[in-house]
Structures are given as structure tokens and as C-alpha cells.
């Protein structure tokens, strides 16, 4: 199913160029790309246009729960006809069980909620 935009304003300012360049980078197979902008500059909308242009299922990660919820709400509004899912961990800290063979070290699982 293609990505279909809901009620999103059209790209403006530097956004059309950013969308074109980021989409071209994905098609070229660029391993890393960065979109920089101040708060409120339209980074999320630019990202949504790139996702729609590229046409592939996309995983969006966020470094904090507040921003994750904000991104979810915006992406849900941008793509009302598409599946937009939301998952957050309730752990403040989580260390999975691990073994380091080079030092024969076992690290026990640990977590904090």
C-alpha cells in the first residue's frame, strides 16, 4: 500500500530540496544521512515526505518517550490511511544478559523501572 498524506501542508522553504536530496541518497544507497534544523523547522514533515517518496516501511527511533509520542501523533496525522504503530519501553535502564568470551566474563541481566 502506498503512503498517502492526510492534511499536511505542502513542503516550503528548504524542505523540497531536503526531500529530493534525502530521497536521492536513499536510492543511491547512502549509508548515513543527517537532516539538521531548529525546533519547528519541519524536520518531521520532511521525514514523512521522504518516507512517502521512498515508499518503504520505516522504523523511526526516538531518544526519549516524549518525542516518541509527539512523532507518533504527527506521523499518524500525516498517514491516516497507513499503519503507524507506537512502542515504548517502560524501563529506565535495561542490561540484557551477556557473555564476553575474550575475558570469560558473564554479565547478569539487570533492569530498573
Please state the domain count of the chain.
Answer: 1
**For residue 25, what are the domain limits?**
15-83
Write the pLDDT tens digit of every residue in 72-98: 999 999 999 999 999 988 777 778 899
Spatial contact of 11 and 49, defined as CB atoms under 8 Å apart: yes
Read off the CATH number of the domain in which 49 is found: 3.40.50.300
Domain membership flag for residue 29: yes
Domain membership flag for residue 111: no
Query: Which of 83, 82, 85 shows the shortest CA–CA distance to 71?
Result: 85
Query: Which of 83, 68, 73, 13 shows the shortest CA–CA distance to 46?
Result: 13
Domain membership flag for residue 89: no
Domain membership flag for residue 110: no
Domain membership flag for residue 32: yes
pTM of the predicted model, to two decimals? 0.76
For 30-84, give the DSSP string.
Answer: -S-------TTSSHHHHHHHHHHHHTS------SSHHHHHHHHHHHHHH-TTS--
User: Measured in Å, how far apart are the chain's first and last C-alpha atoms?
Assistant: 38
pLDDT of residue 1: 66
Q: How confident is the model at residue 33 (pLDDT cuts 50, 70, 90)?
A: very high
Domain membership flag for residue 96: no
Domain membership flag for residue 6: no
Query: Which of 3, 11, 56 shows the shortest CA–CA distance to 35?
Result: 11
Domain membership flag for residue 91: no
Amino acid at each position: 500500500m502506498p503512503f498517502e498524506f492526510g492534511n499536511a501542508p505542502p513542503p516550503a522553504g528548504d524542505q523540497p530540496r531536503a526531500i529530493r536530496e534525502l530521497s536521492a541518497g536513499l536510492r543511491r544507497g547512502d549509508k548515513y544521512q543527517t537532516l539538521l534544523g531548529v525546533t519547528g523547522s519541519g524536520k518531521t514533515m520532511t521525514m514523512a515526505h521522504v518516507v512517502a517518496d521512498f515508499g518503504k516501511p520505516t522504523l523511526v527511533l526516538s531518544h526519549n518517550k516524549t518525542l516518541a509520542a509527539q512523532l507518533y501523533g504527527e506521523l499518524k496525522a500525516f498517514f491516516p490511511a497507513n499503519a503507524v504503530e507506537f512502542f515504548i519501553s517502560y524501563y529506565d535502564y535495561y542490561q540484557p544478559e551477556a557473555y564476553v568470551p575474550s575475558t570469560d566474563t558473564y554479565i547478569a541481566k539487570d533492569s530498573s523501572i
